[in-house]
Amino acid sequence: MRNKLYLLGLVVVLLFLAFFLLEKTKEDATEIEYWKLSLDRIEYYPPSEQWVERTGDKFYSKPFTISVKEGVKKGEKFFTVSNKDTETGKDIEYEGGYNSENTARDFGTYRVKGTEEILEGIQIKESLQLGEDSPKLVFYSGNISKTLRIGKKHSLGSTRVILHEGQIRNILTSSSYLFDKFQKGPQDFRQKSILTLNKEYVKEISYIDENGTSIRIDNTPYESNSVKKNFWRRLSGEIILLEPKLGEDLYRFMTGLKVETFPDDENGAGFGIGNILAPNSEKSEFSLASVKVSISDGNEIVYRFHKETTIGDKKLTPVIRIINSNFKEPPVYVVANAFAQIQTAAKAIKEAKAIVKPDKSKSGNTSRKK
């Protein structure tokens, strides 16, 4: 009886293992690598109005481009997002954020759930919505280019029909999330953190404004009880060690800066206004304050803060960012209070006194002779 129970238990374990391995094989087989490329550029082209009406699928209505640029930042890839501004007719380009990087990575190693070759002379079914007026993505890698047409989403919503155009045409079944992100515009692909750090640290911060406040501080990071900390000195004027809070305040306010609004957002008032509020000058005479941040990886970023304005019901400060003197962004808006905090922190550093330790040789209590 005991042997039968052991045998039954062994059979159950083997069945479980067989089921697990079968399911894992099925899961692995759900996606296959269709291509692997080192992408330089992704161009998005919108669908026609008729395609949108037929499908009810609202993709972004204007073209834009995600690019990988060399020579902007040291030691890392630099992603940009560019498009033509309809108001001014000029090309605009911002640093790309995580959405740009993820998109380039996902399409660099592009995986699909199924492929079917279209034989020459065979027409594609209209129901697949894969005509000349479908949304289109063009991928560039060196002298190689590949074009995908975006078609119908399947009823469950997790996959789409995609056409790979070329000498041999293939209909692909692909994860829809890769393409659904193009239902939003370039704003969604831009970098919204004005100062981003990964493994790097801030080495120096220099600040100067029109009121005459000018400070420069440097940082020597250290570790205490497995906690990373910053050690700040003021280098401008009298060189002194700073109370930790003074350096940390300026550091925290700079690294915490976020884009509140882009000029071409629905509530951004447009680039016509944005370029007046923050003139695209090679010099800084039009800015209220300028901050230069030097990072441990050798990169330097300059931020020019301009006069506060009100757009809608928000008080905002226009900012222009310049990376390594060779990539200058159009203006963005941060909340006005964020710049006020930076000003206050810089003033406190300028007015800081040297930390003086008591002289142990002198007694605190002295007796008088009578």
- Model pLDDT for residues 189-245, shown as the tens digit of each residue: 999 999 988 889 999 999 999 988 999 999 999 988 888 899 999 999 999 999 999
Burial of 138-177, coded b for 16+ CB within 10 Å and e otherwise, reads: ebbbeeeebebbbbbbeeeeebbbbbbeeeebbbbbbbbe
- Nearest Cα to Cα of residue 170 among 280, 42, 335, 32: 32
For residue 293, name the pLDDT band (cuts at 50, 70, 90): very high
Q: Taking all residues of the chain, what is their mean pLDDT, rounded to a whole number?
A: 88
367 has pLDDT over 50: no
34 has pLDDT over 50: yes
List C-alpha distances in Å: 257 to 187, 253, 349, 353: 17, 6, 19, 28
27-38: average pLDDT: 80
> Cα separation of 313 and 331, whole Å?
19
Mean pLDDT comparison of 23-27, 104-108, 163-167, highest-scoring range = 104-108
Backbone angles phi and psi of 295, in degrees to 5: -110, 155
Question: Which H helix or E strand runs over 29?
Answer: helix 2-29
Query: In terms of pTM, does the model score above 0.75?
Result: yes
For residue 78, name the pLDDT band (cuts at 50, 70, 90): very high
The tokens for 63 are 């073209």
> Cα separation of 165 and 125, whole Å?
15
- Nearest Cα to Cα of residue 317 among 301, 303, 302, 337: 337
